[in-house]
């Protein structure tokens, strides 16, 4: 029979991780966080950066909206986003870390795309709002994936209070996503469809 290290290698696992498991300690020490602890912390930092970048962009999103309804929805989510930042600070505190952001390239990209959409759509049109909603939903989906992962990791790491806090944010992101869908489908998409001259032959697309 091989040693734990050899077994770890055979299974394609990191031998150090395998050794730790056999050693019985799942916690790691304060000086040497486990790989998963480190990854969790990095993801919290990622979201700390992402939420703050988003917060900086939201006034521009709000001003760009055509309808009052979308403007109000963005305003409301801006307040929630401020709370999301505060909640992440609580999580940092719980795990004995100073709040610190780590560049989130995904959020940078999503914000860049949103700004391109604003440049490429006409002001005061429903098409602008339809496009803005989709850009905002891409951001929400990124946040939902991130917080969903963070909640699962927090539970795995035995950080139940952190998991509860992160889950509150996750629920708000999901509700925002749903609200954006509702606004788009209620009337924005339909009214956007009448803007400008329709140039495709609809008969070609009929089934």
Q: Which residues bind Fe ion (CB under 5 A)?
A: 81, 84, 143, 173
Closest CA to 127 of 63, 179, 193, 61: 193
Minimum distance between the CB of residue 42 and Fe ion, rounded to whole angstroms? 18
Output 8 or 58, the one with its CB closest to Fe ion.
Answer: 58
113, two tokens: 């795309």
Minimum distance between the CB of residue 151 and Fe ion, rounded to whole angstroms? 13
Output 18 or 173, the one with its CB closest to Fe ion.
Answer: 173
Residue, CB closest to Fe ion: 84
* Cβ atoms of 133 and 199 closer than 8 Å: no
Minimum distance between the CB of residue 68 and Fe ion, rounded to whole angstroms? 20
Closest CA to 87 of 178, 190, 172, 4: 172
Burial class of residue 12, CB neighbours in 10 A (0-12, 13-18, 19+)? exposed
Output 40 or 49, the one with its CB closest to Fe ion.
Answer: 49
* Cβ atoms of 147 and 161 closer than 8 Å: no
Minimum distance between the CB of residue 146 and Fe ion, rounded to whole angstroms? 9
Output 22 or 86, the one with its CB closest to Fe ion.
Answer: 86
């Amino acid at each position: 029979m091989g040693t734990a290290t050899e077994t770890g290698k055979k299974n394609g696992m990191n031998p150090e991780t395998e050794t730790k498991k056999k050693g019985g300690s799942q916690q790691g020490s304060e000086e040497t966080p486990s790989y998963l602890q480190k990854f969790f912390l990095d993801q919290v930092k990622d979201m700390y950066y992402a939420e703050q970048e988003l917060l900086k962009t939201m006034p521009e999103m709000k001003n760009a909206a055509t309808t009052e309804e979308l403007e109000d929805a963005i305003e409301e989510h801006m307040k929630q986003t401020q709370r999301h930042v505060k909640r992440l600070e609580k999580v940092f505190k719980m795990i004995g870390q100073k709040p610190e952001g780590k560049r989130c390239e995904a959020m940078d990209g999503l914000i860049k795309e949103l700004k391109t959409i604003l440049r490429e759509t006409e002001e005061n049109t429903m098409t602008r709002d339809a496009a803005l909603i989709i850009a905002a939903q891409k951001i929400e989906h990124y946040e939902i994936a991130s917080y969903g992962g963070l909640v699962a990791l927090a539970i795995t790491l035995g950080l139940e209070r952190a998991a509860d806090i992160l889950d509150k944010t996750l629920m708000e992101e999901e509700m925002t996503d749903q609200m954006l869908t509702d606004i788009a489908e209620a009337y924005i998409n339909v009214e956007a469809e009448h803007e400008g001259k329709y140039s495709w032959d609809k008969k070609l697309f009929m089934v």
